[in-house]
């Protein structure tokens, strides 16, 4: 299960970070969207995050590890078509598709980790996976710079998205389930003792929206920052 999750996490980090690295330059330099339109797109991007409870119903018909791979494929599809719909409604559509895949995977990823590893192991697994994810985010920056030297935004998005889709499709052929793992209870649980964790996650999301969305847009729109390093 560890290798299964690791491949999907790296694929997700690769795709999402590539999408985010290109996004502001794409919508400002090529699509010519306004700050208001970008704000709407980024706000709608978070809607699937509030709908992750729907995963519970999907698990009634799809195995959780399969749903994880399908979510990564959906993420890749959204990224692949981003450059082919260079207008407000097109980007809004591909962003929602990408975001559904991203948020559904994040939910199943954490659930599978807790389910297949005990309390002592899960903390180590989470730490290792996060470290590989961080390394992937760094590597993607160089990869995007290299791609933009040869391709425009459309085909750069296509290359990144295609790699993610292929990774997800390959993992669909893998069955990482250990038969000795107890059957998971399918349901939504909220516990009072975890209230601080819930609040911190909410604040973290708010901080990310302010910094990642609007500060980077400002650098591109007002100070003409480009994707390349020169």
More confident residue, 98 or 109: 98
- Reply yes or no on whether the pLDDT at 230 is more than 60: no
- Reply yes or no on whether the pLDDT at 123 is more than 90: no
Query: Is the CA virtual torsion 101, 104, 107, 112 positive or negative?
Result: negative
Q: Report the chain's mean pLDDT, rounded to a whole number.
A: 84
pTM score of the predicted model: 0.85
pLDDT in tens, 154-202: 999 999 999 999 999 999 888 777 656 556 555 566 778 888 877 887 7
Top-level class of domain 2-176: mainly alpha
In 3D space, the residue among 11, 57, 47 whose CA is nearest the CA of residue 162 turns out to be 11
Residues 164, 59: Cα–Cα separation, whole Å: 22
Residues 101, 28: Cα–Cα separation, whole Å: 25
Extents of the domains making up the chain: 2-176
In 3D space, the residue among 82, 81, 102, 76 whose CA is nearest the CA of residue 164 turns out to be 76
pLDDT in tens, 21-31: 899 889 888 88
pLDDT in tens, 44-77: 887 877 777 777 778 778 888 888 899 999 999 9
């Amino acid at each position: 299960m560890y290798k299964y999750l690791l491949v999907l996490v790296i694929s997700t980090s690769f795709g999402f970070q590539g999408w985010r690295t290109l996004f502001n330059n794409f919508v400002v330099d090529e699509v010519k969207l306004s700050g208001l339109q970008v704000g709407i797109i980024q706000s709608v991007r978070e809607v699937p995050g509030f709908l992750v409870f729907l995963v519970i119903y999907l698990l009634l018909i799809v195995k959780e590890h399969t749903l994880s791979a399908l979510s990564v494929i959906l993420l890749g599809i959204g990224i692949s078509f981003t450059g082919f719909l260079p207008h407000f409604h097109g980007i809004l559509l591909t962003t929602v598709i990408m975001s559904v895949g991203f948020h559904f995977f994040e939910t199943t990823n954490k659930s599978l980790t807790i389910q297949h590893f005990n309390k002592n192991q899960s903390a180590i697994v989470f730490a290792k996976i996060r470290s590989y994810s961080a390394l992937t985010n760094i590597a993607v920056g160089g990869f995007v710079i290299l791609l933009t030297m040869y391709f425009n935004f459309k085909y750069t998005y296509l290359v990144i998205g295609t790699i993610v889709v292929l990774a997800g499709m390959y993992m669909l052929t893998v069955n990482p389930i250990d038969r000795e793992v107890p059957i998971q209870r399918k349901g939504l649980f909220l516990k009072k003792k975890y209230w601080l964790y819930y609040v911190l996650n909410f604040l973290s999301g708010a901080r990310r929206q302010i910094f990642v969305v609007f500060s980077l847009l400002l650098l591109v729109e007002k100070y003409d920052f480009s994707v390349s390093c020169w």
